[in-house]
Amino acid sequence: MSQTLSRPTGASPAGRSLLRRAARAAAFGAALLATLAQPAFAAGFVRDAEVEATLKRLSDPLMRAAGVAPESIEIRIFDDRLPNAFVYGGRNLVVSTGLLRDFPEPAKLQGVIAHEIGHITGGHLARRQIAMNNLRGPAMAGMLLGIAAAAAAGLAGGGASAAAGVGLGAGSQTAVQRALLSFSRAEESAADQAGITYLERAGVDPTGMEEVLEQFRGQEVFSTRHVDPYALTHPVSAERLSAIRRRAAESPARGDAPDPELVYWVQRMEAKLEGFIDTPSTVLRRLDPDDRSEFATLRRAVALHRAPDPDAAVAEADRLIQIRPNDPYYYELKGQILLESGRGVEAVTPYRRAVALAPDEPLILGYLGRALLSVGSPAADREALAALERGAARSDGGDPGLLRDLAFAYARTGQEGEAALVTAERMMLINQPIDAHRMAERAKSLLPAGSPSWLRADDIVVATKAMQQ
Ligand SMILES: [Zn+2]
């Protein structure tokens, strides 16, 4: 579990450090984006190996049904209580934690995801090429979500106030909204029809999609004061809903029971998100103290961790490990509790076990590396470096937190040139081309000329020079 899946609580020092990490992970480097980070939509990306794996379980069969290679699409989770989902850049699918928590059933989440895949295969995004192409993925998504939230706030307030909060000019904001947010009715219907086809091929009951849209439709009809971003990015018309109803009624997959394995992972995801998002006292108050079931234990473990009560949290994590002794994510949770409560040395053993059980999870490799760096011996530094290098190699799209630790591990093992190179790459990732340029020049001066690392540094020098012109 990544530390970024935590909403800081006012009192907890652990919470404050989590906020910093979340801000880093969100990678809001550009000044433009900084203006979006206002309280109304101060949110960040959530990185969590377990939740991401659950989303892959939900979406992979749908992507295969659509003829899309699952590894070609990156799924990202945004921490926002409002339900939302959208695609951007042709290969990024974003869902909010609010969506995951509001619809904790496989068929409903798969209905939403199938519709988004329908937008991808329909090429609906290719028509929305705008002057934001140079923004890197996370920054772009953050901007879109900020605009969606502002648009929702604007609707709630009766209109024109949204633009002021976004920090873009009112004119450009309207243009951006028009360009990005509302798909046309024809596109919405096409995405629905394609989505239902993918659901059927994957054996998923399309009634789930129908139920989700009914909820958003109801909102529009019964309340003018609150419209969720999802309903804005995907307008739910009466025609659209009745077309889905007709198709779902006749679907050969109608009434198909969900895969029990998927039900398990989706409920577990809900428990974990609740533990990390709601205030610890609220989570603990909701729980029956005698409830020793797996998901109650998970909620309790996370809430106690954030309370913070690390000893009690570790005891609950150990119970989870007893229930599922070969579950990488429960060892990861135990490691996280220890690492974040300043017991990095003790965190090494559970993280090592998590990596043994899930050897290709970049996030877990990253945290093993971080735990090892806290040991402070040359052998641990070498093991940390190996774990972090493996994590970086497997991290699709890059992970700023991991790259920071990797640079630290290189420096600790006397590889200053590599440290500078990785720092330059991290600066690129968080949209800081001037710093990236400086660090890449430094890397070139330290690395053997013409070596693969020197060439990577040179690429950054060339790219940042071009960006500055
Ligand atoms: Zn849509």
The rounded Å distance from CA 442 to ligand 1 centre is: 46
Cα 348 to chain centroid, rounded: 25
* CA of residue 31 to ligand 1 center, whole Å: 30
Give distance in angstroms: CA of 176 to centre of ligand 1: 17
The predicted-structure confidence for 105-134, as pLDDT tens digits, reads as follows 999 999 999 999 999 899 887 655 443 444
Q: How far is the CA of 165 from the centre of ligand 1 (A)?
A: 25
**From the CA of 233, how far away is ligand 1's center (Å)?**
7
- Listed as ranges, residues in the chain with pLDDT below 50 are 1-4, 6-43, 129-136, 138, 151-178, 224
The pLDDT assigned to 439 comes to: 97
**Residue ranges with CB less than 5 Å from ion ligand 1:** 183, 188, 191, 234
* Predicted pLDDT of residue 175: 46
pLDDT for the residue 128: 57
For residue 208, give the nearest of 266, 250, 261, 248 by alpha carbon: 248
**What is the pLDDT, as a whole number, of residue 164?**
29
Distance 357 CA to ligand 1 centre (A): 37
pLDDT of residue 150: 52
pLDDT of residue 398: 78
Q: What is the 3-state secondary structure (H, E, C) of 272-285?
A: HHHHHHCCHHHHHH
Q: Convert the chain into a string of H (helix), E (strand) and C (coil).
A: CCCCCCCCCCCCHHHHHHHHHHHHHHCCCCHHHHCCCCHHHCCCEECCHHHHHHHHHHHHHHHHHCCCCHHHCEEEEECCCCCCEEEECCCEEEEEHHHHHHCCCHHHHHHHHHHHHHHHHCCCCHHHCCCCCCCCHHHHHHHHHHHHHHHHHHHHHCCCCHHHHHCCCHHHHHHHHHHHCCCCHHHHHHHHHHHHHHHHHCCCCCHHHHHHHHHHHHHHHHCCCCCCHHHHHCCCCHHHHHHHHHHHHCCCCCCCCCCHHHHHHHHHHHHHHHHHHCCHHHHHHHCCCCCCCHHHHHHHHHHHHHCCCHHHHHHHHHHHHHHCCCCHHHHHHHHHHHHHCCCHHHHHHHHHHHHHHCCCCHHHHHHHHHHHHCCCCHHHHHHHHHHHHHHHHHCCCCCHHHHHHHHHHHHHCCCHHHHHHHHHHHHHHCCCHHHHHHHHHHHHHHCCCCCHHHHHHHHHHHHHHHHHC
Give distance in angstroms: CA of 43 to centre of ligand 1.
Answer: 22
CA of 119 to the centre of ligand 1 (A): 7
- Contacts for 267 with CB less than 8 Å, ≥ 6 apart: 104, 295
Q: What is the pLDDT of residue 341?
A: 96
Distance 311 CA to ligand 1 centre (A): 46
